[in-house]
A and B are shown apart, each in its own frame.
Chain A
Amino acid sequence: QSVLTQPPSVSAAPGQKVTISCSGSSSNIGNNYVSWYQHLPGTAPKLLIYDNNKRPSGIPDRFSGSKSGTSATLGITGLHTGDEADYYCATWDSSLTAEVFGGGTKLTVL
């Protein structure tokens, strides 16, 4: 059971938009920044969003992040098959003194 709760899977058609939620508590999301990572099988995870809504260099603006209270959301617009991957939210948990990840959400582009 992960400290951060994500839906196991989401799906949408090519060209459409999808959102992935990440729910936590005051000891993690509520008081710390959230990051999002994309993981394609056989590769290393890739940073998509950090500090709730910032994109590293090279990440297209199709990817966006937001945070409200103890929840965070990753948005992806203009979906294409190359976006099919597992997506993870992450943040620091001040009570556990540990970095915590969501359980991961598998995105399918139908």
Chain B
Amino acid sequence: QVQLVQSGAEVKKPGASVKVSCKASGYTFTSYYVHWVRLAPGQGLEWMGVINPSDTSATYAQKFQGRVTMARDTSATTVYMALSSLRSEDTAVYYCARDRPILVGATPVFEYWGQGTLVIVSS
């Protein structure tokens, strides 16, 4: 069965960086986009970006451009999301989510989700 297992909670100081991992199993890793979505306290879901594991190409939300990097390790079937220059507003639960099969022009559908990784940014 499809599983996305994320790394554990992190506590970071303002200005630091964090790297969250998302290990995929149960499907062909390079055939599906993986997105990152976050949920901050009292806020709604927020899309951060997407990576194509087959060629590492990525698209980031304008809000995070310059601060976020998404990468993958094919041999480990793992996707990573790194966020730099952290501030208190980045305190949130970060989720990876698998899309449906890679198709040009298809609207994303988040079929499977990781369990979430809590990132706390505090001095």
Contact = CB atoms under 8 A, between A and B. Distances in A.
A101 B44 contact: yes
A40 to B, nearest CB: 12
Given A44-B95, A98-B61, A35 B110 contact: yes
Interface residues of B, number: 23
Q: Which secondary structure characterizes the binding site on chain A?
A: strand
Interface string A93-105: 0001111111110
Interface stretch (A11-19, A71-79, A84-92): A84-92
B44 A2 contact: yes
Contacts of B114: 44
Contacts of B17: none
Nearest to B44: A104
B107 A45 contact: no
A70 interface: no
B115 interface: yes
A32 interface: yes
A102 B35 CA distance: 17
Contacts of A37: 45, 110
A2 B46 CA distance: 9
Contacts of B39: 39
Interface string B76-115: 0000000000000000000101001000000111110111
